């Protein structure tokens, strides 16, 4: 047991820049899981991350001569901000080497603290190599982001606060791991003061360097590449000192998927109205997985929201993946007969389930993406890409079984990365053999059954040749519809659309449609 860290942690004098962050109950998530779930809010630090603790503690331990030379670090962003703030507080010159993939919000925050920023490489390891070169070139003092006893001790103050804030029963603590500084400091303290508490390290499954080391019994191995979504924990090899501590103090390593991380970001938002960065939600994603696997209730579980530095434009991707990560969306490819009314019948067979996505494109010939909502002269089958809300994995399996019982061929694409990342955006193209297509864009109130009602009002007279709908959480659903309508029937179509009482716009002459979807040159 690394007892030497206890005195280091107790002696850390970091509170002239860091704050003691609250330990908050996650009431909604606790209710869902039947357990008491606590969240340590390190995202509320002045630099929106726990990293200020270790960086400042290390600066305080430097000799005056070392501070005068200036300091340098390699960081994915949060350690960089912590070191920049600490150096600014002490009047020390700081140089920060950051991977070129670092979110702009972190880069700008470091520069605002007066530090020099050097962008280099795609991963932490490449940035670290460049930082080592600059140490030799400029005579700077290297401040490691995690593999340093003083840094580890600074991060360990998170556990010191947590146990003081919650002296009662605590079954397990879940700590995110990149290089391992936070986990090592917290685990060392928890296991010394409260050895009965289980401590679990949590990593993204595409950056699981600690799991690799634990499985092999040493830290010699390196991941050939690491996922960059949770950039704050994108490390290829666990630290030497952090591994020494962790192998003696943790009860296990959990890995989580990108979708599970996205779902945890949403959970934090719903309970706190704050948006965690992906790395900041890794611990909660692991906590949820553990709670689901154990199936126990009335446990007290704690984790750390370790940071909130993310680019705003990344939220679009997070929102897209959240429902799947929460196991609340099924993504299916469904084959329906290419015959009049089959498209509408499929919507009716779904009942009142909320449809989150609905895509198809008429293909002609074999009818690979044919509609079937109205008349059609083609035989064959239509393939529809559809997303639907479900409650659990079991509910998803029941939905697939119900559709199959009704005679539909169903391919479950919920866990298919290609489908989620690309195919959902590529269902479309030009429809061969259609020269009388018109395209309209509609808006209708977003509520359960609204899409089916829309189709019931529209279907019956003309063949639907294109359909694209995606629920983006707005108050109004937006649908793009193509119809095969002869020239002399278009006044009748216009009259029907006027009766629908939904806002609509004809897009047949839109240059985007003409360039990518229309058969007409």
Catalytic positions, please?
A: 51, 306
3-state secondary structure of 173: strand
Listing DSSP states for 236-305 in one string gives SS--HHHHHHHHHH-SEEEEE-HHHHHHHHHHHHHHHS----TGGGHHHHHHHHHHHHH---S-EEEEEE
Whole-number Cα distances in Å, 105 to 96, 230, 231, 308, 356: 15, 15, 13, 10, 31
Q: In whole angstroms, give the CA distance from residue 423 to residue 420.
A: 7
The Cα 437–Cα 242 span in angstroms is 64
Take residue 207 and report the two structure tokens written for it: 């950056």
* DSSP-assigned beta bridge partners for residue 427: none
Measure CA 3 to chain center: 36
Phi then psi for residue 292, to 5 deg, are: -70, -40
Token pair for 316: 């679009």
Helix, strand, coil percentages (3-state) for the chain, rounded to 5, are 45, 20, 35
CB contact at 8 A, 381 and 332: no
Q: What is the dihedral of CA 12, 18, 24, 30, to 10 degrees?
A: -80
**How far is the C-alpha of 383 from the C-alpha of 367, rounded, in Å?**
8
**HEC letters along 343-355:** HHHHHHHCCCCCE
């Amino acid at each position: 047991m690394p007892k030497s860290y206890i005195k280091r942690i107790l002696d850390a004098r970091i509170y002239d820049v860091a704050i003691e962050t609250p330990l908050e109950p996650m009431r909604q998530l606790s209710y869902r899981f039947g357990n008491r779930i606590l969240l340590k809010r390190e995202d509320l630090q002045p630099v929106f991350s726990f990293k200020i603790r270790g960086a400042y503690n290390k600066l305080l331990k430097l000799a005056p001569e070392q501070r005068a030379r200036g300091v340098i670090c390699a960081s994915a962003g949060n350690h960089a901000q912590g070191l920049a703030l600490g150096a600014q507080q002490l009047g020390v010159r700081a140089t920060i080497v950051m991977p070129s993939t670092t979110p702009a919000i972190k880069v700008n925050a470091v520069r605002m603290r007066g530090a020099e920023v050097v962008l280099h490489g795609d991963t932490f390891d490449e940035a670290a190599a460049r930082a080592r070169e600059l140490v030799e070139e400029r005579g700077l003092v290297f401040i490691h982001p995690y593999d340093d006893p003083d840094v580890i001790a600074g991060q360990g103050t998170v556990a010191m606060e947590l146990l003081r804030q919650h002296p009662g029963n605590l079954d397990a603590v879940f700590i995110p791991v990149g290089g391992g500084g936070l986990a090592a400091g917290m685990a060392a303290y928890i296991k010394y003061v409260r050895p009965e508490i289980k401590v679990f390290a949590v990593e993204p499954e595409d950056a699981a360097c600690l799991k690799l080391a634990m499985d092999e019994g040493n830290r010699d191995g390196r991941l050939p590449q690491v996922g960059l979504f949770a950039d704050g924990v994108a490390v290829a090899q666990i630290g030497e000192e952090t591994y020494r501590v962790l192998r003696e103090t943790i009860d296990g390593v959990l890995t989580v998927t990108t979708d599970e991380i996205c779902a945890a970001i949403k959970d934090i938002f719903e309970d706190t109205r704050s948006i965690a960065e992906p790395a900041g939600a890794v611990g909660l994603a692991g906590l949820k997985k553990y709670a689901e696997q154990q199936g126990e209730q009335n446990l007290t579980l704690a984790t750390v929201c370790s940071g909130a530095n993310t680019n705003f434009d990344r939220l679009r991707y997070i929102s897209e993946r959240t429902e799947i990560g929460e196991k609340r969306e099924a993504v299916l490819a469904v084959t329906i007969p290419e015959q009049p009314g089959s498209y509408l019948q499929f919507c009716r067979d779904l009942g009142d389930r909320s449809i989150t996505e609905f895509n198809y494109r008429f293909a002609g010939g074999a009818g690979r993406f044919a509609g079937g909502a109205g008349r059609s002269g083609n035989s064959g089958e239509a393939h529809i890409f559809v997303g639907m809300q479900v409650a659990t994995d079991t509910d998803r399996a029941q939905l697939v079984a119900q559709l199959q019982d009704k005679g539909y061929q169903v391919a479950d694409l919920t866990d298919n990365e290609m489908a989620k990342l690309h195919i959902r955006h590529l269902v479309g193209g030009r429809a061969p053999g259609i020269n009388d297509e018109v395209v309209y864009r509609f808006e209708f109130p977003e509520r359960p059954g609204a899409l089916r009602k829309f189709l019931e009002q529209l279907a019956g007279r003309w063949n639907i040749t294109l359909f694209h709908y995606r629920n983006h959480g707005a108050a109004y659903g937006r649908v793009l519809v193509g119809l095969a309508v002869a020239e002399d029937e278009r006044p009748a179509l216009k009259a029907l659309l006027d009766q629908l009482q939904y806002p609509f716009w004809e897009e047949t002459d839109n240059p985007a449609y003409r360039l990518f979807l229309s058969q007409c040159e």
